[in-house]
Structure 1
């Protein structure tokens, strides 16, 4: 009897699992409005499904995007990216339930990673746009006129969901399924493929941010601190110089790597340009390359042009520090990581600034004391000590 009951229970569980899986297939879904679509796809992430009917001759695409397991405090979006794979550059259809219970569905072109999903016209006409929310499921309906699309029937698609605040979409998660929910869709064959480009691009962005934060934001200021404060101690010469060069050279190498990843990200998203961030990055790379050449072009200490070189080198050095910090914060705003990363970087800047203040006080104390000692030495007269009819000149040294 025990074995029989166990087998019955196991059979029930297995049948429920099969029926649940079977029910979740888009091919068995019946729309309440009795709409029928010629094809559908079970999207692999975020409990989402796409139904469509495509007319190749007119390039009309009628779609229904479904997202199950929803609450009224979240938004959904489905998009086509005509230029590349990924979020930026995509032409999105957004829907959510407002606080008064009505549904809002609208179009939104995505031009930045920090989008607020503002309403705007897409690169192709959209008609029959509507949305429903029932049984914890949002369905978005629309008809797209893909007149600007290429002759290929394969599209880059992106789908997403996120939280609402005061009837406005807020930033979705940047980990897990939320950065994997993209791929290609063949409208004729129905073949749907996911791509890891979103996760890869996010990883590249993180690497780009870390490289630049460490190089321009930490190593460069550290090298400047060494050059300004450590060299005042005679015993630190020439060790301070080699420390300074090593620190700045390592910063430059990492900075070039960060610059390269930035160019790669720019090429991956041709429709989006963070102009200020890009321009500052190019200026930083150019000035840093000039500074590096100073190792070969540096005049000797007694050269008559040494003073001009010193002014140029210090001016460009301070310019790099200021521009680096500005650009790192711009990068943080673009990437929008967790707040702990910005707090950590601010903490590092505060620590470096506090160290600079302490060393500034010590430096002034050392310099002033050295000048005072030199002045006292110049004021002391020569003394004559003649004990045997001769004379001896003696100078006091400090």
Structure 2
């Protein structure tokens, strides 16, 4: 008779088998356990896939009336929550939003916003649907937004919806929300009759492109270009490193340029896909970087010989543009990190890398100055002797 498996293996086998059994809606959904102070019950509810949010709703198809209860927790206690329908697209731009927050007097406010762009909101505005009634309540750090909407397009039962939370409200106007992955992925399609919501994959795809754009630009403008400058500035001091330093410098900068062009191209692609979003400073610095780096590539082709009379002017131009690329690149990397808002560890990691490069540059600067000064001192001490020997092969003794 075969022996039974050891208890740990048996437990693992049971857990694995249980994981293969799909949970029922009542077991999986938190929203089915939620209740409301007014004892209102809704036909459908869904746990939304991001921002720990929940949506309950009833839909009267003949009357094209949608009643909803949206539950979410603001990112800060004084923040806001919002739920929206987008009749024209799947993202935030173009969405018709209901937004709730607690006023300074403690009362709850519900406003409507026609979000035509990603620019800061100014005042509430008329939206695509009619709002028959709306209210909100706050409890245990969460805000519940109630509303009854009359949809203008009868027969349309699958809609794009967007939800969001924000950190604060200033003078009755909601401030900008975060751009973490959960915020960017808070959208999907809503089937009003089947009671289903499907998360949109566009947010994941766009986030992936943003991350690729960020990595390419950090590596090229933010790390490789400064490294190439360090190689050129400090290795060429040593005659034994010539011409190795030159080829290392060129290889580093040309590679950085190629990677930077790829990053610049992904930025253009992201801009074309998000015409309503404009980061003017980041974009303008990026354009300047591309132009300056392209000039540096052409400078390599137009490099005069060392003894050419125009070499000094070329050096001034090449060094000036090169240092400008390094400084602007580092600045724009931090601008991009502020926009992308990755985990804090990534920004800290880049700060550490830049600090290390800066520390290395300072040490090499001091070391090479010592080498150069010693060399000059040695040259000055030998020049009179060499000059005397040039005129007199050896000192003859004076005649008696």
- In which range does the TM-score fall when normalised by the shorter chain? 0.7 to 0.9
Identify the range of structure 1 (179-188 vs 247-256) with the bigger mean alpha-carbon deviation.
179-188
Which residue among 96, 121, 126 is the counterpart of 2:124? 121
1:347 paired to 2:349: no
Shift of 1:195: 1.4
**Aligned partners of 1:77, 1:289: CA distance in 2, in Å?**
45
The reply on whether 1:286 has 2:286 as its aligned counterpart is: no
Q: 1:283 to 1:386 in 2, by over 3 A?
A: closer
Does 2:254 align with 1:234? no
Q: Are the aligned partners of 1:160 and 1:181 in contact in 2 as well (CA < 8 Å)?
A: yes
**Separation of aligned partners in 1, 2:87 and 2:39:** 30
Q: Aligned pair 1:157/2:175, yes or no?
A: no
Give the deviation of 1:137 after TM superposition: 6.8
Which residue does the alignment assign to 1:85?
90
1:337 is aligned to: 342
Distance in 2 between residues matched to 1:53 and 1:269, nearest whole Å = 32
Distance 1:253 1:142, change over 3 A: farther
- Give the count of matched residue pairs: 363
1:184 corresponding residue in structure 2: 189
Q: Counterpart in 2 of 1:319?
A: 324
**Match of residue 359, structure 1, among 349, 361, 364:** 364
> In the aligned structure 1, how far is the partner of 2:265 from the partner of 2:72?
41
Q: Secondary structure at the match of 1:370?
A: helix
Q: Does 1:199 align with 2:204?
A: yes
Deviation readout 1:284-319 (Å, 9 max, x if unpaired): 112111211223222222223222222211111111
1:257 aligns with 2:256: no
Unaligned runs of 5+ in 1: 1-13, 390-398
Q: Does 2:54 match 1:48? A: yes
- Whether the 8 Å contact between 2:167 and 2:176 is mirrored in structure 1 is yes
Measured after TM superposition, the shift of residue 269 of structure 1 is 1.2
With the length of structure 1 as denominator, give the TM-score of the two structures: 0.74
Secondary structure at the aligned position of 1:227 is classed as helix
Question: Offset of 1:375 from its aligned partner?
Answer: 2.1
Unaligned residue ranges in structure 2 (runs of 5+): 1-20
Q: Secondary structure at the match of 1:232?
A: coil
Change (3 A) 1:206 1:284: same
Structure-2 residue corresponding to 1:106:
111
How far apart, in 1, do the equivalents of 2:291 and 2:88 lie?
Answer: 30
Q: Is the 8 A contact 1:66 1:140 kept in 2?
A: yes
Report the TM-score, using the length of structure 2 for normalisation: 0.73
* Contact persistence 2:30–2:47 (CA under 8 A): no
The structural deviation recorded for 1:228 is 0.9
Structure 1 residue 142, shift from structure 2 partner: 5.7
